[in-house]
Chains A and B, each alone.
Chain A
Amino acid sequence: MKEGRTHKRFQKFGMVIDLDKCTGCGSCMVACMAENNVPFRKDESNKLLSITWMRVYKLTNGMPFPETDVCYLPRPCMQCAGQHEGHSPCVSVCPAIATDYSMESGIVSQIYTRCFGCRYCMASCPYHARYFNWWDPIWPDGMEKYLSPNVSPRMRGVVEKCSFCFHRYQRAKDRAYMEGRRELQEDEYQTACTQACPAGAITFGDLNNPKHAVSEMVEPDPKHSGRPKNPNAFRLLERLGTNPKVYYLSSREWVRRAGDNYLKNEKKVKKPVHHG
């Protein structure tokens, strides 16, 4: 059996976010909070302490009036595969086996009860996608009624992050088992942000499944060291070699450049990209 073939058997869930369509409304952020029992506090204006698994960043091109331009960039967990699959920055530093990379879905998990709060993973995550619970979550009296039983509320002292709504995968699987199926349809497992996005800017699916829209949108070009054929596609901080599974599309050159740490006068370097 060839290695290529064995890998095809597994799913690799990924996301493509069309920044041309994204209006920066923030619905994905709230969809995520509402889906995943994310707590809130009286003052959420200190963004280093504010827990937002999905966060929309505002980028500006820095040009003076009236050449100014603004673009919004939603940032979930990138579910990095790393240079060889499973070598995500956070997973490789976790001393507690609280975060794990699943070969079967390509999703980086976080087990809150396992985490002891050392925050190594936060330090290693180049995307600031991980958040620490500095306080116990407190819902105002009565508001805990809306908490979803599918996601366990976190306690003080642990790290949490986007899970690609893995519980929705489990929910879909349960239904599939009932119907005697093992395979899921593309629309059966969609993240909360994808589903909510009013602009339809987020596409989610299995990058290894050629029938899924995502794999078509960022189809790799073997002639180009596995870069997506779509010239508008890019990933965040690609040159760090984190090999994220979240792709962005933008027709604006300055936005694509903002996605990585380019020096001011640097030309875009074509570098081999791991697309495994």
Chain B
Amino acid sequence: MKIGRRGFLSFVIGGAAGTALSPLPWKLMDDSSIWTQMWPWTPVPEDGEASYVNSVCTLCPGHCGITVRKIDNRAVKIEGMKGHPVNNGGICLLGLSGLQLLYGPMRVKTPLKRTGKRGQGQWEKISWNDAVSEVVEKLRDIRSEGHPQTVGFISGFDRGTVSRLFERFLTAYGSPNFMRMPSVRDSYELAQYLMQGVQALPGFDFENSDFVLSFGSGLIDGWGSPVRMSRVHSAWQSAGVKVIQIEPRLSNTAAKSDKWIPINPGTEGALAMGLAHVIVKESLYDADFIENNVEGFFDWKNLVIDKYSPDTVASITGIDSRTIVVLARGFANASKPLAVCGRGNGTTPVNIDECMAVHALNALVGNIHKKGGVWAVSEPDYINWPEIEMDAKAAAGMQHERLDGAGSKTYPFTRYLLPRLPETIDPGEKNPLQALFVSGANPLYTHPDTQAVRNAFDKIPLVVSFSSYMDETAQNADLILPNHIYLERYEEVPTPAGMIEPVIGLSRPVVEPQFNTRHVGDVILQMAKGLGGSVAKTFPWDSYDSCLKETLGDLWNYLIDKGFWSNTGAMPPFFGTSYETASGKFELINKDNGSIPQFKPVSIEGDEKDYPLLLIPYDSMRLACGFIGDPPFVMKTVEDSILKGKDVFVELNPKTARNQGLREGQRVVLTTPKGKAEVKVHLFEGIMPGLVALPRGLGHTGWDEYLAGKGINFNTLIGPVEDPDSGLDAAWGIRAKLEKA
């Protein structure tokens, strides 16, 4: 039978009718629409059993309690731990992003050994055993040559068992060069030591004070324990606590305070003395406290009366003298006033005179070791390890002075002076630093004058980084021995920065280690064992975990059970009202050099003729500027008036911009004596004319593609300025100029 045209058409029509009567088209339509809703590349998160693990966040010194929500063995969300004394359920944006740091591309996934030149980013994977034995070989060589003191260690922290293991290792090995990253704690520790005779953490009872006078401290911009400070701020709002913020730029802290008093940058110390003048002159001070607890008041009083009248101070600070008088009265008449100093989020020290002048204000109103006042807080004393065994080599090594000069004749009471390190590394002779270990710190990013620090690092034959992330220091190391991150390891974390209440938290493995990483504590133990002899004997533990368990004793079970230990309501018991100074009192005179701390302006780099403007940094909760860089989520929160594409904006008062002939969004070259960078202009009324402000936390070269290459690292544009009295870096800014690009 021949199939003709009509037959064919008939067949087709029949087919169409049949198809329409069959489920085929309708089912296909349904299925294909479902298909378009589920592209295979859109992930479908697997469901499972939910569980919660309590731990502690150690991304900053705030040490919030966290509760991690897990689905089967995946961690899916970090939340604040309810009932924790630091944060009680709240959590900051960095803490919330912790899982991006856990699963993210910035992780160093296995031990790496440099193959190309330093910083070129050429690595080969090596085994843990090879990596550790390579380090041990080198250390053994250095030691057998009799130079154990040429080994240094830079650590972000100096408290808790892990840091103590580092120190212990160095001591047993024979080097005094354990260095902590600088912060405002350096200044406070020194001020407290000079005035109160104690080595302790500064604690501020903000919760109970009713008048807070902040000399530029970014109390809600990441200062201290940020979540605690946010909670404190809310409590202030509810209770009507007066908060006065003194700084040249309207920071968030200034905007949320009751009164923002702009001040010429770097003159905060003069204002403190001026306020003291008014308080002394009008007899508003706590006479009882002065009489019984303060030494040197008479001389000090004469000095402030003599040299710091409101008019004098007004001309220095740019604050009207009437305002100074009113402020002083307000402060002294409050029942629990508290003064605090240190600029920004507290990651840079202030010069010691300024710190002592502000601390003296607290003494003047008798608010030392009192409710709502400033406390010298000592560590909970739980680390009781056996004596360190030192052989002859170690003992000889420990006789050497520290490389950074801390504890030397020049700076007898300062504990760490890391910023001085670059200048001590002499290019000519044999390098005084043969090997350097870095843990929990990123000095090649956070140190002022990063280029100089990099040059210094280049001269150190062996740089070992323990970083879990490919940060700038890791990028420039010879070996990276990646640590587990805080969500993969045990570690106890003592009292958070700025708190007076003793708290010990326990960081614990929320998930299995994701990569071929190793606990830095275990690596130290392994290195000690590799070196043998007295060094090995100093570390009697099999593993870090067993060391921690043994150290904590009964506390271990408590921490495992509860997540943290705290002594709520307990006042720091260790120093009470007694002072361990020679006089047994609070001393207003610097016993270091017998002088009375006075206002001495820090000599900022650059001269006014070439650099008409002043560059200052500012901090934001949304820009992590410590050893952790912003994870992708946090980068998302950065405003487009701070970062646009790869360009960072500098803040400029419209008046300054007019004088310079600049407008909003214009591309300019920012030059300082230390370097230059291309930036854009953002006009902001909240900054004092004549200043340029650049945010810290940008301009990374390491980490991941979500962070690297965006903006400028403030530290490339500034260098340290040494405070002659303490050796601390006292630079608060640098002279600068702007030119059209």
Contacts and interface: CB of A to CB of B under 8 A. Distances in A.
Complex A–B touching at CB under 8 A: yes
Interface of A: 18, 20-21, 23-27, 29-31, 33-35, 37, 40, 42-47, 50, 52, 56, 58, 60, 62-66, 68-72, 113, 136-149, 152-156, 192, 195-201
15 contacts: A20-B237, A25-B220, A25-B230, A29-B93, A30-B637, A33-B636, A40-B635, A42-B705, A42-B706, A69-B250, A136-B41, A140-B105, A142-B104, A149-B71, A155-B42
A143 B105 contact: yes
Contacts of B87: 198
B645 A196 contact: no
A141 to B, nearest CB: 7
A195 B89 contact: yes
Interface in B625-646: 632-641, 643-645
* A40, A65, A137: most-surrounded residue (chain B CB, <10 A): A65
B685 A63 contact: yes
Interface of B: 37-39, 41-48, 71, 74-80, 87, 89-93, 96-97, 99-100, 102-105, 220, 226-227, 230-231, 233-234, 237, 250, 252, 255-256, 260, 262, 514, 621-622, 632-641, 643-645, 653-655, 684-689, 704-706
A26 B230 contact: no
Contact of A66 (B41, B262, B641): B262
A250 B632 CA distance: 31
A26 B48 CA distance: 30
Contacts of B93: 25-27, 29-31
Given A40-B706, A62-B685, A147-B43, A26 B80 contact: no
A31 B77 CA distance: 9
A-B pairs with the 10 shortest C-beta distances? A198-B230, A26-B637, A198-B90, A147-B45, A25-B621, A30-B93, A70-B255, A68-B686, A149-B47, A146-B99
Nearest to B109: A142
Given A146-B103, A196-B79, A45 B643 contact: yes
Contacts of A50: 636
Contacts of B653: 65
Contacts of A29: 93, 636-637
Given A45-B640, A47-B639, A146-B77, 12 more contacts: A25-B92, A30-B96, A31-B91, A35-B77, A60-B685, A66-B688, A70-B255, A72-B252, A136-B39, A144-B45, A145-B75, A149-B45
B252 A146 contact: no
A197 B636 contact: no
Given A23-B256, A70-B250, A146-B100, A45 B43 contact: no
B96 A149 contact: no
Contact of A149 (B42, B48, B262, B638): B48
Interface centre among A27, A69, A156 (most CB of B within 10 A): A27
A70 B45 contact: no
B103 A142 contact: yes
Name the residue in B44, B100, B102, B689 with the highest tally of chain A Cβ atoms < 10 Å from its Cβ.
B100
By DSSP majority rule, is chain A's interface helix, strand, loop, or mixed? loop
Contacts of B640: 45-47
A138 B230 CA distance: 33
Contacts of A37: 45
A96 to B, nearest CB: 12
B262 A146 contact: no
Nearest to B62: A198
A140 B104 contact: yes
A192 to B, nearest CB: 8
A34 B234 contact: no
B65 to A, nearest CB: 13
B46 A44 contact: no
A198 B37 contact: no
Contacts of B46: 149
Contacts of A145: 74-75, 103
B639 A58 contact: yes
Contacts of B636: 29-30, 33, 40, 44, 50, 52
Contacts of A70: 250, 252, 255, 686
Of the listed residues B75, B634, B637, B705, the one surrounded by the most CB atoms of chain A closer than 10 A to its CB is B637
A145 B37 CA distance: 21
Contact of B226 (A20, A65, A198): A198
A139 B230 CA distance: 31
A98 to B, nearest CB: 12
Contacts of B74: 145-146
Nearest to A158: B37
A200 B99 contact: no
Given A136-B39, A147-B45, A66 B260 contact: yes
B37 A113 contact: yes
A71 B250 CA distance: 11
Contacts of B250: 66, 68-70
B404 to A, nearest CB: 34
Nearest to A151: B45
A191 to B, nearest CB: 12
B230 A199 contact: yes
A143 B103 contact: yes
A155 B46 CA distance: 17
A60 B684 CA distance: 9
Contacts of A24: 252, 621
A145 B77 CA distance: 11
Given A20-B237, A23-B230, A65-B686, A34 B39 contact: no
A148 B45 contact: yes
B689 A65 contact: yes
| Most-contacted residue by chain B among A42, A50, A56, A144 (CB, 10 A) | A42
Contacts of B234: 18, 21, 199-201
Contact of B685 (A42, A68, A148): A68
Contacts of A23: 220, 230, 233, 252, 256, 621
Contacts of A20: 237, 256
Nearest to A27: B93
